[in-house]
Amino acid sequence: MSYIWLDCDPGHDDATAILLALYCTNIRLLGISTTHGNTTVENTTDNAARCLHAFAAPEHIKVHAGAAAPLLRPARSDAEIHGPGGLGGVEGLPPADSDSVRARIDNRRPAIEAIAAAIGQTWNAGAGAKVTVVATGPLTNTALFVSVYPHLLDAIERIVFMGGGIGVGNRTAVAEYNILCDPEAAQIVLNTPVPKTMIPLNVTHKAIVTSSVHAKLINSTIYEAPSGAPSSQLRHTLSTLISFFKEAYESTFGFMDGPPLHDALTIAYVSRPELFTGIRYRVDVELTGAHTSGQTVADVWGYLKVDDTWGRTGKNCEVATDLDIAAFFELFLDCVARCDEV
């Protein structure tokens, strides 16, 4: 069983990460924190809570709002990909001002305090059980958490984040959006002496929701609805999510086959690491380049001769290089089926 904390900015693919975090049978989700990123932190907080409700999450799992802006830079948002509110085109989610959504948001504890409490409790109560911190947005909250609570680093199993790319970007020629939003935070996390896994664009761009995966998502194999209609409210919601995301990717990047489910891969990695291959490198973030700010720079040839530690002097990050795509989508559809049964 893996205990996880999810820090996210929903976001279409973040929403699918939330679903997997709830329904992978070997994962226990302790809580969710939210960050600026795809849209404002107010929107991402509401969206995370709306997803928890739509996905029938247990009531005790709460959403805690985190950073409204990067450590040093102004906040961005990405309406082109996710719509102005972050979950553009997604039908069937409860409104943000409904009681059921408000009840899922814990305003008493800001993100990093909530992360510290959950990790501290799991460590003490679970006879030394560690927690995996999963980040699917800019790394501001994670950087603040590891800086403010260094005594809890021993209780972190691993930090798994979607971000970066080796030689490839999506919001500049070489910078991926999550890292580009807060490069300083990403460098702080990369310097933190705990095991880390980066799931970069090179891998996430292989996890494309093709029309055949979309068709399986629309209809459960148990009950096939007539005339191609989604066979449940949940499947309708997820189908509209994929359709909007597909169109955004098509118009922005020319992806024709379907959208990549970037963020869901982080949870798949925690649940089924054997589906991935990876190589451990020294990875740093370009903080000042005229054309390359926000780039993740991996020492692929071992040129730097660094040590074997996970912190600022070593091979600090496992970088995913490939995945079993068919098995990943099987896991995704299994989680949808389990959620459908609740």
Which positions lie near ligand BDR, rule CB under 6 A? 11, 13-14, 38, 78, 81, 136-137, 162, 170, 176-178, 262-263
CB under 8 Å to 126, separation ≥6 — which residues? Answer: 3
Find the shortest distance in angstroms from Cβ 44 to Ca ion: 9
Residue type, 307: D
- Residue number closest to ligand BDR, CB atom: 177
Instruction: With CA atoms as reference, report the closest residue to 233 among 13, 213, 241.
Output: 241
C-alpha distances (whole Å) from 314 to each of 144, 163, 309, 311 are: 21, 20, 5, 6
**Residue 37 CB, nearest distance to ligand BDR (Å)?**
7
In the list ligand BDR, Ca ion, none, the entry touching 176 (Cβ below 5 to 8 angstroms by class) is: ligand BDR
| Near Ca ion by CB under 5 A: residue from 137, 138, 163, 258 | 137
Binder of residue 177, out of Ca ion, ligand BDR, none (CB less than 5 to 8 A by kind) = ligand BDR
136 binds Ca ion (CB under 5 A): yes
Cβ atoms of 299 and 281 closer than 8 Å: yes
Q: Which is nearer to ligand BDR, 31 or 86 (CB)?
A: 86
The binder of Ca ion chosen from 14, 176, 182, 284 (CB under 5 A): 14
Closest distance to Ca ion from the beta carbon of 321 (Å): 21
Could you tell me the smallest distance in angstroms from the CB atom of residue 108 to ligand BDR? 27
Work out what residue 78 binds among Ca ion, ligand BDR, none; the CB cut-off runs from 5 to 8 Å by kind: ligand BDR
**Least CB distance to ligand BDR at residue 253 (A):** 11
Kindly give the residue spans of alpha helices, DSSP state H, lying in the chain.
12-23, 41-54, 79-82, 99-102, 111-125, 140-148, 177-181, 183-191, 201-204, 211-218, 233-253, 264-271, 325-341
Pick between residue 167 and residue 314 the one whose CB is nearest to ligand BDR: 167
Query: Is 262 a known active-site residue?
Result: yes
Is 268:20 a contact under the CB 8 Å cutoff?
yes
Q: Does residue 11 interact with Ca ion by CB under 5 A?
A: yes
Nearest to 238 by CA among 33, 43, 26, 51: 51
Contact of residue 140 among Ca ion, ligand BDR, none (CB under 5-8 Å per partner type): none
Element (H, E) at 32: strand 27-34
Amino acid at 257: D
**Per the residue annotation, which of 82, 214, 262, 291 is the catalytic one?**
262
CB 95 within 8 A of CB 101: yes
Q: 70 or 137: whose CB is closer to ligand BDR?
A: 137
- Binders of Ca ion among residues 244 to 303 (CB under 5 A) are 263
- CA–CA distance, 6 with 267 (Å, rounded to integer): 9
Q: What is the contact surface with Ca ion in residues (CB under 5 A)?
A: 9, 11, 14, 136-137, 263
Residues identified as active-site: 262
